[in-house]
A and B are shown apart, each in its own frame.
Chain A
Amino acid sequence: MNEEKIMPSASVGASTKDSSNENEMGRRGFFKWLTLGWIAFASATGGFFTVMIRFLFPNVLFEPPQTFKIGFPDDFAMNTVDIRYKKSFNVWVVRDDESIFALSTVCTHLGCTPNWLQTEEKFKCPCHGSGFRMTGINFEGPAPRPLERYKVSLSNDGQILVDKTKSFKWEKGEWENPESFLIV
């Protein structure tokens, strides 16, 4: 019984006699294949996890486009806040004495959407009460900085083009940037 258990002689690397046989795998060969096997396994696993993370970032979004036309400059009355594009594109279009600019509807406190209160001439956030002037400057509540503005330009057909991929922050002095407003 006992001898039978010991009998198998083909066990890998167990006996030096067998390694002289060219068909048998020696100690060195065994480790070579083992290393190769582990590298293959590790790269396959790593590759799979990389692909898994990439899988979570969709190529096509079913969201409103980031760049869109909002009509001609004459469509916007002097000293008013246009709320037509709030729901569809999350921007307010404001026209003051000299320019038109697009304000982000995202509250700079925690990201809720404020409302434009015409009678009080301010944006008021329902979440924690932050208030912003028509210009987007914060003046009450916990909001730490003004609303952001988006890039506006005139397209070839004379309509205003808003590009939300580029935003301008007041605290960085970016509202001076000519791309952040449209002289009318």
Chain B
Amino acid sequence: MAKDDKQKSLLERMGESQVWKSIIRSGVPQTRRQRMHAILGSVFLHLHPARLPKHAVKVGYTWCMGGLSFFLFVVLTITGILLMFYYRPTVEYAYTDIIDLTEQVPLGIMRELHRWGAHAMVLTVWLHMLRVFMTGSYKPPREFNWGVGVLLMTLTLFLSFTGYLLPWDQLAIWAVTVGTNMARAHPFIGHEGPGASLLAIGDINLVHMGSDVRFALLGGRFVGEATLLRFYVLHCIAVPFIAMIFMAVHFWRIRKDGGISGPL
């Protein structure tokens, strides 16, 4: 307290400035309590645990796969937004815009970063689940968060699937044709699925080629321009939006369920 102005370091002086205090809300944290408050006082940091047990930073135990998945999600969001400045989701332009992105636009690697990042994220999400499963970290009190994680994995795969159509080449069109044909067999809401024929009024089928879940996904009876637009919107807006909500819940629950699980 009795420190002279001249003795104060630059950091200390910064910590006492109004600009710093208005942003961080407290001065440079000195005690454990103050450090805790610095974390809790920030909207971004407060999802993260205020203090970490030593084992939580042991890569051999955690593999850091959850963190890497989040990192890749951020990378994919940034590169994805950049790609959106050039890509047009129409039958006429989609294929050539991707060629343009890789060959003419500066830093053509941006598209590859997005693609590689997507492949990597599917991998890290699976490895993250494997680690959580093998360490038994899905057990109570973390069973709810495991459920949220399974949902996030599904969303990751769906993001991967919807993104696959966007280059609009033969591989994409037929892969999505094959993939969406699975929806035909969905019980009750797929027109070839079990129970779909029960949903009928007399001779009129309520669930048919033009009214089932596959139809809603494709926006038509086959993969066409409506599908491209639908997958684009799902890929860029709808699914990331839902994923972000559940990611916030996921990270928050790690804290609430007693922090990251440790070796038994």
Tell me, in angstroms, the Cα distance from A56 to B212 when the chains sit together.
Answer: 11
B222 surroundings in chain A (CB, below 8 A): 63, 90
B221 interface hit (Cβ, 8 Å): yes
B73 interface hit (Cβ, 8 Å): no
Question: Do residues B181 and A57 form an inter-chain contact, with CB atoms below 8 A?
Answer: no
Tell me, in angstroms, the Cα distance from A115 to B256 when the chains sit together.
Answer: 58
Instruction: Pull 30 A–B residue pairs with CB atoms less than 8 Å apart, ordered by A.
Output: A53-B216, A56-B216, A56-B219, A57-B215, A57-B216, A58-B219, A58-B220, A58-B226, A61-B210, A61-B220, A61-B226, A62-B220, A62-B225, A62-B226, A63-B220, A63-B221, A63-B222, A63-B224, A90-B222, A110-B177, A110-B178, A110-B181, A111-B177, A111-B178, A111-B181, A112-B174, A112-B177, A127-B174, A127-B178, A165-B209
A53 surroundings in chain B (CB, below 8 A): 216
Tell me, in angstroms, the Cα distance from A110 to B176 when the chains sit together.
Answer: 10
| CB within 8 Å of A: which B72-92 residues | none
Closest 4 CB pairs of A and B: A110-B178, A111-B181, A56-B216, A111-B177
B181 surroundings in chain A (CB, below 8 A): 110-111
A112 surroundings in chain B (CB, below 8 A): 174, 177-178
Say how far A21's CB is from chain B's closest CB, in angstroms.
46
B215 surroundings in chain A (CB, below 8 A): 57
Interface size class of A (residues with CB under 8 A): 10 to 19
Tell me, in angstroms, the Cα distance from A172 to B263 when the chains sit together.
Answer: 58
A110 surroundings in chain B (CB, below 8 A): 177-178, 181
Tell me, in angstroms, the Cα distance from A18 to B181 when the chains sit together.
Answer: 66
| CB within 8 Å of B: which A60-99 residues | 61-63, 90
Known: A56-B219, A61-B220. 10 other contacts (CB 8 A): A56-B216, A58-B219, A61-B210, A61-B221, A61-B226, A111-B181, A112-B178, A127-B174, A127-B178, A165-B209
Tell me, in angstroms, the Cα distance from A62 to B210 when the chains sit together.
Answer: 13
A165 surroundings in chain B (CB, below 8 A): 209
Return the CB mask of A109-123 against B: 1 if under 8 Å, else 0: 011100000000000
Tell me, in angstroms, the Cα distance from A58 to B210 when the chains sit together.
Answer: 10
B197 interface hit (Cβ, 8 Å): no
B102 interface hit (Cβ, 8 Å): no
B211 interface hit (Cβ, 8 Å): yes
Say how far A57's CB is from chain B's closest CB, in angstroms.
6
Say how far A136's CB is from chain B's closest CB, in angstroms.
18
Say how far A130's CB is from chain B's closest CB, in angstroms.
12
Say how far A86's CB is from chain B's closest CB, in angstroms.
13
Tell me, in angstroms, the Cα distance from A71 to B79 when the chains sit together.
Answer: 52
- Output the nearest chain B residue to A56 by Cβ-Cβ distance: B216
| CB within 8 Å of B: which A35-65 residues | 53, 56-58, 61-63
A61 surroundings in chain B (CB, below 8 A): 210, 220-221, 226
A111 surroundings in chain B (CB, below 8 A): 177-178, 181
Say how far A72's CB is from chain B's closest CB, in angstroms.
28
Query: Given A110-B178, A111-B181, A112-B178, A57–B211 Cβ distance below 8 Å?
Result: yes
| CB within 8 Å of A: which B190-244 residues | 209-211, 215-216, 219-222, 224-226
- Output the nearest chain B residue to A128 by Cβ-Cβ distance: B178
Say how far A128's CB is from chain B's closest CB, in angstroms.
9
